[in-house]
Amino acid sequence: MRAYLMSLAVAAPALLLGLSACGNTPTASTESPVASKTNAVGAAAIGAERLIASNSEPGSWLLAGGDYREQRFSQLDQINETTVSGLGLAWYADIDTERGQESTPVIVDGVMYLTTAWSMVKAYDIHSGSLLWAYDPAIDRAKGADACCDVVNRGVAAWNGKIYVGVLDGRLIALDGKTGKVVWEKQTTDTTLPYTITGVPRIVKGKVIIGNGGAEYRVRGYVTAYDAETGEQAWRWYSVPGDPALPQEQPELKDIALPTWNGEWWKLGGGGTLWDGMAYDPELDIIYVGTGNGTPWNQKYRSPGGGDNLFLSSIVALDPNTGKYIWHYQTTPGETWDYTATQPIMVADLNYPATSTSKGGKRRVVMQAPKNGFFYVLDAKTGKLISAEKFAPLTWATHVDKTTGRPVEIPEARFDKTGVAAIVAPAALGMHNWHPMAFSPETGLVYLPVHVSSSTYASPPNFEVNLKGWNTGIGFTAGQGVTPVVAGGAAPKTEAYLIAWDPIAMKEVWRVPNTDPRGGTGVMVTSGNLVFSGNHAGEFNAYDARTGKKVWSSPTQAKVVAAPATFTVDGEQQIAILVGARGLPIGQTRTVPTSANNSRILVYRLGGTATLPAEMPKATAGAPITVKIDPPLLTASNETVASGELLFGQNCAVCHGAAGVPAAGSIAPDLRYSALLHGRNLWNGAVRDGDRAQRGMPGFSTTLTAEQTDNILAYVIKRANDEKAAQEAAAKPKP
């Protein structure tokens, strides 16, 4: 079977998509009760009632977030701590892109819909695993340069026979659920600005709600609702005030937000983009949205003199019918470290026990674990802070004052004010990023992927606008001969783990360390007392939801960053996970002709016996690559190298890493190993002329002088020679 498919794949890769379901003989299609009722397999016949009652239909996974409350909890329990040992691969399909795969599938009326890198959409028959249709929005690949953190997409929304996808270039597209043909498309952004969309559209009462990203560059954040049938704009809500000389679009921008800003932030948009987290409470009829960091990051250059800079880094409650502001809670006032609050948001009912000071009882809450490392529980109706505690060893604040609701900062962490470079935890990637968390109403626990990090933040003497790339206003190294202060006294070690968090006691209950510390991964929890989550080591695992004990594991051949979904096929529970991220797990080789990082959708069932291919077919397998460090000799002066270091920190480090060492999970290459170091013409082609714009490296000819890019080259050659010397020293036998 495998040999047949692979030889076919070599001959005709385009056919592979439709034929890559392996190992499971298609069975006669017995329609699910809902599908029978509507007689519409593949119709995505979703309306308001079906979405609100999604918990009564556990055989489907109707929203990427599991349900409107985004709990990513399933009542299915056939796969449980007793039966899970028999869980095996039912089928898989190869994905034809090779960047990060971040989407959770939506499964409705017999069809699984998912998105891949470059905002492509695919629909699979859940009975056979065969591809029903695929849609490619044909994004100009140069647009990848506007995506801070890879050309990813986190999934679709389904409504009334249509499938909705937000596209990297700012389009919102409605597709026919049966055919994948475009029904309508709408440009939601100004195409002259570096806006991107990577998030999932949410649909409330016939309105598609979509945000955008770009706060690393120079945009103003907003979220927009469109009529799901026509694409006509219904409302738009801006997260930060515009030019104060002009009328503000919303009363709260003028009354609440504007007084918290200084300077000329609007010239760079101010940031505050809403690129991921949202949740809807159908009973309160409120949609909760999360806002991002400021532009530039460094508050000294964004809003000189300080201020809270509302509504950056906030959870905001909006009326989904009108977009009207209801309340907000700001997690990081005056943020200056890229501490967004766009992370996943969750609505839940928590049962508080009676105490000496409170009679306890059920409360409807909103929960979030944003980048800044605090876990927040807010009253869903009023936004009042119920609790906020550290879920990770952050060093920018000591605690959150429960009376004021404000964090108490550690003074040296605020490098923008002190002018002294500081090592602060977390780094810009956050203690928790977009990776979905899950909540089980049965255990009362939140399952949260944590990624501990720290970084040097320095305030360079000047800030110049970069029209082609990032505008952080931050140096990521302290500079030659400068020792940064360490906020909080010590920086935590970099590690990744999954925790179970009690949101009432606000305490960690159990913890499972990740075998590979490089980054987070998504989570799902089920009534089978199981938590499902992958990792960067190439495993898909199940844990006992009450104890954290690992009860099952399966190799994925790929890094896993997305979250799983679960559903039934003819009454039998199955589990789906999309795999593939930057690079391969350590020790893993390529096994997919269409994707260098082994991107695939994997579907599991009890008794499944399908297997992943062990190796690439001979015709396409390449020789193993060993990368040797081989820089030219350093001939530049110390002054040139020092100038290059400063410029590198301001212009290159955000992607290529502090001191030229890319951060874990970075999509940018390690320049110390680059062949470009061997010729100024080669270097300038990529760095100045934009030869690699299609691959995400913008040209810097309008923002940096030729002397400046020469100095950066000298600095990278210096760093490469440092590394070469270190490797040679390490290889020498010890006396």
Residue 388 parent element (H or E): strand 385-390
Cα–Cα–Cα angle for 596, 598, 599, rounded to 5 degrees:
105
Nearer to Ca ion, 20 or 293 (CB): 293
Of residues 475 and 608, the one with the C-beta less far from Ca ion: 475
CB atoms within 10 A of CB 561: 27
The DSSP bridge pattern shows strands 286-290 and 455-457 to be unpaired
Q: Are 317 and 328 in contact (CB under 8 A)?
A: yes
Site for Ca ion in 336-395 (CB under 5 A): 338
Closest to 168 in 3D by CA, of 227, 103, 232: 103
CA distances from 368 to 54, 71, 343 (A): 22, 11, 7
Output the smallest distance, CB 332 to Ca ion, in A: 12
**Size of the chain, expressed as the number of residues it contains:** 735
Contact 165, 119 (CB under 8 A): yes
User: Cα separations (Å) of 408 from 314, 395, 687?
Assistant: 17, 11, 42
CA of residue 654 relative to chain centroid, distance? 17
Q: Which residues on neighbouring strands pair with residue 440, listed in sequence order? A: 445
Of 202, 158, 213, whose CA–CA distance to 180 is shortest? 158
Q: Can you tell me the distance from the alpha carbon of 235 to that of 273, in angstroms, rounded to the nearest whole number?
A: 16
Q: Which residue has the tokens 């935590």?
A: 492
Q: Which residue type sits at 24?
A: N
Cβ distance to Ca ion smaller for residue 143 or 186? 143
Smallest distance, Ca ion to C-beta of residue 663, A: 13
Query: What's 475's DSSP letter?
Result: B
- Give the shortest CB-471-to-Ca ion separation in angstroms: 11
DSSP secondary structure, 72-127, as one string: -EE---SS-TTTGGGEEEEEEEE-S--S---PPPEEETTEEEEEEGGGEEEEEETT
Site for Ca ion in 283-342 (CB under 5 A): 293, 338
DSSP letter at 732 equals S
73 DSSP β-pair partners? 525
Q: In whole angstroms, give the CA distance from residue 538 to residue 583.
A: 11
By the 8 A CB rule, do 88 and 138 touch? no
Closest distance of CB 292 from Ca ion, Å: 6
In the complex, least distance from residue 313 CB atom to Ca ion, rounded to whole angstroms: 10
For 3, other C-beta atoms within 10 Å of its C-beta total 9
Q: By C-beta, is 67 or 338 nearer to Ca ion?
A: 338
- Measured from the CB atom, the residue of 424 and 498 that comes closer to Ca ion is 424
Nearer to Ca ion, 293 or 527 (CB): 293
Interface of this chain with Ca ion, residues 668 to 697, rule: CB under 5 A? none
Least distance between Ca ion and beta carbon 440 (Å): 30
The residue (of 314 and 594) whose beta carbon lies closer to Ca ion is 314
Annotated catalytic residue within 169, 276, 308, 338: 338
Q: How far is the CB of 11 from Ca ion (least distance, A)?
A: 44
Q: How would DSSP label each residue in 490-555? A: SPPPPEEEEEEEETTTTEEEEEEE-SS-S----EEEETTTEEEEE-TTSEEEEEETTT--EEEEEE
Which C-beta is closer to Ca ion: that of 341 or that of 687?
Answer: 341
Q: In the complex, what is the shortest distance from the CB of residue 339 to Ca ion, in angstroms, rounded to a whole number?
A: 9
Beta carbons within 8 Å of 541's beta carbon, 6+ residues apart: 532, 533, 534, 535, 550, 552, 553, 554
Which amino acid is it at 254? K
438 strand-pairing partners: 447
Cβ burial of 352 (10 Å; 0-12, 13-18, 19+) is: middle
89 and 603 Cβ atoms separated by less than 8 Å: yes
Q: Least separation, in Å, of the C-beta of 293 and Ca ion?
A: 4
Tokens of 615: 């190796």
- Which of 12, 43, 29, 10 has its CA nearest to residue 129? 29
Q: Give the other-Cβ count within 10 Å of 72's Cβ.
A: 30
Of 138-197, binders to Ca ion (CB under 5 A) are none
Residue whose CB is less far from Ca ion, 169 or 338: 338
Q: Which residues inside 31-50 make contact with Ca ion, applying CB under 5 A?
A: none
User: For residues 564 and 698, which CB has a smaller minimum distance to Ca ion in the complex?
Assistant: 698
Using DSSP bridges, classify how beta strands 73-74 and 523-526 pair: parallel, antiparallel or unpaired: parallel
Nearer to Ca ion, 292 or 484 (CB): 292
Per rule CB under 5 A, count of chain residues that contact Ca ion: 2
User: Do the strands 422-424 and 485-486 form a parallel or antiparallel pair, or are they unpaired?
Assistant: parallel
- In the complex with Ca ion, the residue whose CB is nearer, 663 or 686, is 663
338 is catalytic: yes
For Ca ion, which is the closer residue by CB, 334 or 534? 334
Coil, strand, or helix at residue 61? strand
Q: Is the peptide bond before 296 cis (omega within 30 degrees of 0)?
A: yes
Residues 6+ apart with CB under 8 A from 729: none
Contact footprint for Ca ion (CB under 5 A): 293, 338
Catalytic annotation, residues: 338
